[in-house]
Amino acid sequence: MMRQYELVEKVQSYDPDADETLLNRAYVYAMKAHGSQMRASGDPYFSHPLEVAAILTELKLDAATIAVALLHDVVEDTEATHQEIVDLFGAEIGALVDGLTKIKRLDLVTKEAAQAENLRKLLLAISKDIRVLLVKLADRLHNMRTLGAMRDDKRQRIAQETMDIYAPLAGRMGMQQLRDELEDLSFRVLNPEAHAAIMERLDRLHEESGDVLRQIEVALVERLAKSNIVAEVKGREKKPYSIWRKMEKKHLSLGQLSDIFGFRVVVREMDECYRALGIVHQTWRVVPGRFKDYISNPKQNDYRSIHTTVIGPHRMRVELQIRTQLMHEIAERGVAAHSVYKDAKAEEAAQGMRVEAAESNAYRWLRHLVEMLSEGDSPKEFLEHTKLELFHDQVFCFTPKGDLIALPKGATPIDFAYAVHTNVGDSCVGSRVNGRHAPLMTELENGDEVEIIRSKAQVPPSAWEGLAVTGKARAAIRRATRIATRKQYAGLGREILGRQLSKANLEASDKQLIAALPRLGFRNLDDALASIGRGELNGADFVKALGPDGADMPKPKRKSAAKPSTTLDEPLNGGRTIAVRGVNRDLPIRIAESTGAVPGDRIVGILTPGKGITIYPIFSRALQEFDDQPDCWIDLAWDTSDESLRYPARLAVKIHNEVGALAQVTQTIGEHGGNIDHLIMNTRARDFFDLDIVVEVHDLKHLNHIMNSLKLKPLVSTINRATG
């Protein structure tokens, strides 16, 4: 265990002006507070905050952060109080310790909403002061290093949440060294067999390659020195988890991996990075497609470096990262290498680090993420957005004016449009990629120039949510869809209310309608009209609430009040349960057999006297028969509170007339959780068969997943929804 004077000396080695008194007081206070407490490993509990402080000294953090590391568990695990910390160590350290105390354990096996709320607390605390994150990551790193004393189930849980949240967050903050160790320690727990196999392969490679790494280092230094470039070259091997991730992504075996070894070339000036690159490319053959310039286009976490892969000595494939010393500091320590603290002083530049006038890109990303908290998204949507932002690699695209837009890998023009501005996304109707028209589902590549085609009349369809990759785009599409749906319901509600007023021989201005809202419990006229349109408020009740003379108004015949939600059995396919909103509970209801309908489809109901209501998706051709009968149309909405329910969708599938084609279709549907309720094979031609299939699914997303999987099958020619 590190001694008191050793800790002080370590801090003063990189910060001679560090507050020695503060460090000594924090050391003694924490040691006394934890007293005889023991960890699960049998070590004194105080060894944990001390090791956390030691990890932070490796990141060269200020004395206040080291003091917080020593104190971070005292309020939660001892009799010490927050006020006592403030009185003894000041408001700044008190606030940091309080922020860490409020962050509860992130439990990834609990409900998503609870997990999301914990993540909100973590990010809010971090956004107030980045040092909260630095202490939290160091705390998690030491816990991972000492995980062996825990029960197996607890080890698995802690390792999984580290892999899911803390390691990616460290990466987004540019702290690559810390991220690598967190991932490797988690991987060792979550997949010990794979970890052992990769380590065995690395040991064999060491034996086979012998002194090759050293030879390459010497050769690189000599080549660069001949051109008057002083460089520090260090060979390294990829971490086991990095190797495993590449094997999974590219479907490679251990034996097929060739670029396991890499070298970092650290030079003095930025122009030497490009000179060094030229020398390397003139000396060894370049592997095509493996060059990336993150100096010209830095990553969002401020990472800057040139990446290239060459065929080096002994025909060994070697990855090179060329950077300056400052770039190397930021690559290894991330935000810890930036002066982004709230009380940053100009003299910190004397430590050899550039003091930024603005926040680092990594910290700016974090603040943007926290801004999502104020936009009214549900916890589940916020969690989804955060995980998307954490896990995706980046591609860099350009606007026609040359502005750079960074997006997650796999992003589409829809994501690009919303990244430019929400209004651009909402009005997007098409795109041009590199001057050519491209579908909105096109996956963007590095360097693409994207032009968004817009229309003022456009409303983003809800189906775009499944095409978007970024959480920002998905959240904006959901909001726009909610607003558009509300507007449609309000229009329908105004029509229904107008009929009720006509029956009562009354006319009412919007001013009179607004005056009646308090009696109905509404603050906004559009909300009340939308409620009528959804069937949640009866139009006749609104008429009654119009004024003191309402009791003397002619009363139209009333049906029983519409309920906000109803669950009814419909006769198709054996009495399936349908959950919809906007219909009377007493009416029988069924889904149109000619098309089927699933949650996610925009639906309407057609009321037929004596038969009840038939649900049609809005694209059904059968609705044309009712164009001149507006009174029989009922605007419906799905009630998706019960996610276990299944709904029918009729598909028209054309397959090749070959052995195994039908089996491919049925097997694919079954593998993806669909249930075939009806299947008829019709002969179309000698080479093809037409299939009429009714498949039961949970929602439109589930159906699209099945249809997309079928499209990939070689014996499936076409697949479409039946339109009736």
What is the 3-class SS of 439-479, one letter each residue? CCCCCCCCCCEEEEEECCCCCCCHHHHHCCCCHHHHHHHHH
The dihedral through the CA atoms of 214, 217, 223, 225 has a sign that is negative
Per annotation, catalytic residue among 58, 77, 107, 356: 77
> Residue 653: its pLDDT value, please?
92
> Residue 308: its pLDDT value, please?
92
For residues 682 and 684, what is the distance between their CA atoms, to the nearest angstrom? Answer: 6
Residue ranges with strand state E in 533-671? 566-570, 576-581, 589-591, 603-608, 612-617, 633-635, 637-638, 647-656
Helices (H) and strands (E) in the chain, counts: 28, 22
> Residue 568: its pLDDT value, please?
37
> Residue 563: its pLDDT value, please?
39
For residues 108 and 110, what is the distance between their CA atoms, to the nearest angstrom? Answer: 6
> Residue 142: its pLDDT value, please?
92
> Residue 366: its pLDDT value, please?
59
Residue spans of the domains in the chain: they are 4-190, 194-337, 478-552, 590-724
For residues 100 and 409, what is the distance between their CA atoms, to the nearest angstrom? Answer: 33
> Residue 369: its pLDDT value, please?
55
Domain 4-190 has CATH 1.10.3210.10: yes
For the question of residue 76 being annotated catalytic, the response is yes
Q: What are phi and psi of 436, to 5 degrees?
A: -115, 145
For residues 428 and 440, what is the distance between their CA atoms, to the nearest angstrom? Answer: 9
> Residue 562: its pLDDT value, please?
39
Burial class (CB in 10 A: 0-12, 13-18, 19+), 570: buried
> Residue 382: its pLDDT value, please?
54
Burial class (CB in 10 A: 0-12, 13-18, 19+), 279: middle
> Residue 577: its pLDDT value, please?
65
| Contact predicate 439/383, CB 8 Å | no
Per annotation, catalytic residue among 6, 9, 17, 76: 76
* Residue listed under structure tokens 């286009």: 297
The two three-digit tokens of residue 556, written as one number: 């139209």
For residues 473 and 373, what is the distance between their CA atoms, to the nearest angstrom? Answer: 15
Residue 253's CB is within 10 A of a number of other CB atoms, namely: 8
Q: Which CATH number fits domain 194-337: 3.30.460.10, 3.30.70.100, 3.40.50.1170, 3.40.30.10?
A: 3.30.460.10
> Residue 576: its pLDDT value, please?
54
> Residue 553: its pLDDT value, please?
44
For residues 410 and 352, what is the distance between their CA atoms, to the nearest angstrom? Answer: 38
The two three-digit tokens of residue 657, written as one number: 């007339």
Which residues of the chain have a pLDDT value below 70?
102-128, 209-210, 250-259, 335-394, 547-577, 582-587, 609-610, 630-631, 684-686
For residues 163 and 190, what is the distance between their CA atoms, to the nearest angstrom? Answer: 9
The dihedral through the CA atoms of 623, 628, 629, 630 has a sign that is positive
Residue 536's CB is within 10 A of a number of other CB atoms, namely: 18
Side-by-side strand order, sheet with 633-635: 589-591, 612-617, 603-608, 633-635
What residue type is assigned to position 509 of the chain?
S
The two three-digit tokens of residue 176, written as one number: 């690559």
> Residue 385: its pLDDT value, please?
53
Residues 6+ away with beta carbon under 8 Å from 338: 302, 330, 353, 356, 359, 360, 362, 363
Q: Which CATH number fits domain 590-724: 3.30.1520.10, 3.40.50.300, 3.30.70.260, 3.40.50.720?
A: 3.30.70.260
Residue 275 is given by DSSP the state H
